Amino acid sequence: MKRLFALTLIIFIMLCSTAWAQKLVLMLDWFPNVDHTPIYVAQQSGYFTEQGIEVEILAPSETSDALKLAAAGQVDLAVSYEPQTIMAADAGLMVKTVSPLVVKPLATLMFLDKSIKSPADLSGKKIGYTVPGSEDLLLKGFADINGITDYTPVNVGFTILPALVSKQVAAVMGPYKTYETVTFAQQGADARFFELEKYGIPEYEELIFTAGSAILEKKEKAIRGFVLAIHKALADIQNDPDKALAIYLDALPEVDKETETKAFALTAPNFAAPGQTSDPGKWQAFIDFALKYGLIKNRINPQDVIHNWDAK
């Protein structure tokens, strides 16, 4: 009888905690992949539940959807990019980053043509980009710095390899050196690339969590809980990366395990440290660059787009 009572009590508590949990809708920047490992570790390990939240994870249909929907309050959180967030703020969208996810640039200007030896070799060609409102503007800055002239930008979205193989474009701005290099190799393609930070683009935070300002004000406690859960997951990745990867793979059985395992090994060193916050100095350097090369029109204060949890 005591065992039955205890079991009933446990079930009751679990049901109540689920019923009382505040729901947050998170939209990813891309299809689910190892860049999102901390999210799935937090979810599968019960860290969101511990914070009294339930997180629904959505994948976008277009690469620029997440930040726009967050700014409009149609999703609570978005996985986004520092450059995109700065450019969105310049355009008047009310968004803030609440925590970094990947703190070093992963994006590259990627190509297959072995005759391309320097960025200037892309002059006069079609160059693809992956994320409108971010990678197309990064391409502009990269081209200005590195002497690429008379190029034609083309939005290729998710279809990076087909666009390169078919020669629809000569290169693509945005593919990750930690992911597309792996997927290309598995399909017999030799990915070559220029690392942006080595060609004049200031180092920036590749992936961040963002929220619309109105949603952040309304659901600040729940979003803080989300951030704390992510920090706990980041600690797990640091302490036992193999276990964290296994949790991610269990959560997404449909992914290719070989691809994700190889990509995870390259990505894991670039995740934020547990408790790490966005670096205003790094953001200021990118804002200065963006203003100089016409990626934005207005001077932005980093503190206006980075949520300060310490002040709360």
List pLDDT tens digits, range 180-222: 999 999 999 999 999 999 999 999 999 999 999 999 999 999 9
Tokens coding 147: 């002497």
Integer-rounded Cα radius of gyration of the chain? 21
Q: How is the chain split into domains, by residue range? A: 2-104+205-311, 107-198
pLDDT value of position 1: 53
User: pLDDT under 50 in the chain at which residues?
Assistant: 6-7, 9-13, 15, 17-18
Nearest to 173 by CA among 144, 132, 210: 132
Can 2-104+205-311 and 107-198 be said to share one CATH topology? yes
Q: Report which DSSP code applies to 307.
A: -
Tell me the C-alpha distance between 115 and 5, whole Å.
Answer: 73
What CATH architecture does domain 107-198 belong to? 3-Layer(aba) Sandwich (3.40)
Superfamily of domain 2-104+205-311: Periplasmic binding protein-like II (3.40.190.10)
Written as six digits, the tokens of 222 are 């729940």
Name which of 242, 297, 274, 265 is nearest 101 in CA terms.
Answer: 274
User: Residue 158 has what pLDDT?
Assistant: 86
pLDDT attached to residue 12: 47
pLDDT tens digits, one per residue of 55-103: 999 999 887 789 999 999 999 999 999 999 999 999 999 999 999 999 9
Query: How many Cα atoms are found within 13 Å in the side-chain-facing hemisphere of 230?
Result: 27
